Amino acid sequence: MGPGRKKSSAKIVFIDPVKQRRQRLVGGALILVCLFGLGYSLVGIGQDGIASAILPSVPAAERSRPSDNKDSVAGEEEDLTAQKAKEETRRPTGAATCDDVRVLVDRSHTLPTDYAPKDLISLPAYGVPTLGGREMLLRREAAEHLKSMMAAAAADGEELVVASAFRSYAQQQASHARLKSIYGSGADTMSATPGHSQHQLGTAVDFTNAAASYQIRRRFGRTSASGWLQTHATEYGFVLAYPPGHDGTVYNFEPWHYRYIGVENAGRLEQSGLTPQEFLVREGVTPDC
């Protein structure tokens, strides 16, 4: 296709850039208002809860792309606006903040609907045990350290199985919607709303094992494998993201949920005496992608 044709097609979709920017700002503000509204309902609750426990049984939703989950698109102009906004998320500086292993994601720091890391790899294909051998994805560096960590745990006689890893915005949305259909407004106390889950980063994993009946439950915290993780995970760059004794501050204690932040960062976190949340707030990497 020559440059001439490109020009003529651009003429067809021309829209006033000032008007477009205004629409984008208004749209963005509305989305922010909605997300904050939902965010408030998440105060002091678990980010996985039952959602993770039932998620592995719903592979259908896992295949849908985040962009398929837009609530409603009124017309072509908004399509173009969305496309333009998407292009802007590819700016290197913005993407770098979401790809940073220290990026802060909580009820007031949100990941965009279309954010997904580019270096996800298959855990079962990489030789990492997953629940029922199901397909699960994790960022490469995190997966490498996870594999070493799980091999070391196995060598010490501890069984660990990955019950959940990367979850796209669409997957989180689907699992949250499913809970909502069963539990109504109570669902907000069981799982993070879409965009607020560390699982969208591709660096968080939930563990289970036979002693925890292969479920994602607090009971996992009383297993010897959980004790092993609490002693050794930082050596592999993983941290217990929501430790005990801090319920109500960010998310409640989730003994099964670990997040990879890198060996050096995990060491600094341990030295600091801060919780992972406090440490990441101090690091100051907020999602801008």
Tokens of 241: 């993201």
Q: How far is the CB of 164 from Zn ion (least distance, A)?
A: 6
CB of 129 to Zn ion, least distance (A): 17
The DSSP bridge partners found for residue 137 are 122
Give the distance from CA 76 to its chain's centroid: 30
Structure tokens belonging to residue 216 = 């994602």
The tokens for 131 are: 């629940």
Q: Does 196 bind Zn ion (CB under 5 A)?
A: no
Give the CB-nearest residue to Zn ion: 257
Task: Give the distance, in angstroms, between the CA of residue 183 and the centroid of all CA atoms in the same chain.
Answer: 23
Q: Which of residues 9-28 bind Zn ion (CB under 5 A)?
A: none
Number of residues engaging Zn ion in binding (CB under 5 A)? 3
Burial of 190 (0-12, 13-18, 19+ CB in 10 A): buried
> Tokens 């607020």, residue?
196
**Could you say whether residue 206 binds Zn ion (CB under 5 A)?**
yes
Q: Is 168 exposed, middle or buried (0-12, 13-18, 19+ CB in 10 A)?
A: buried
Q: In this chain, which stretch among 11-19, 103-111, 126-134, 252-260 interacts with Zn ion, using CB under 5 A?
A: 252-260
Nearer to Zn ion, 48 or 158 (CB): 48
User: Which is closer to Zn ion, CB of 24 or CB of 109?
Assistant: 109
CB contact set of 155 (below 8 Å; sequence gap of 6+)? none
Per CB under 5 A, does 257 bind Zn ion?
A: yes
Residues 6+ positions from 142 with CB-CB distance below 8 Å = 101, 202, 203, 205, 237, 260
| Closest CB to Zn ion among residues 47, 81 | 47
Q: How far is the CB of 2 from Zn ion (least distance, A)?
A: 51
158 belongs to the binding site for Zn ion (CB under 5 A)? no
Type of residue at 173 = Q
The distance of closest approach from Cβ of residue 11 to Zn ion in the complex, given in angstroms and rounded to an integer, is 49
Q: With binding defined as CB under 5 A, does residue 48 bind Zn ion? A: yes
Cβ distance to Zn ion smaller for residue 176 or 257: 257
User: C-beta of 257: minimal distance to Zn ion in Å?
Assistant: 4
Asked if 106 interacts with Zn ion (CB under 5 A), we say no
188 binds Zn ion (CB under 5 A): no
The DSSP bridge partners found for residue 174 are none
Looking at the Cβ atoms of 114 and 206, the one nearer to Zn ion is: 206
Give residues in contact with Zn ion (CB under 5 A).
48, 206, 257
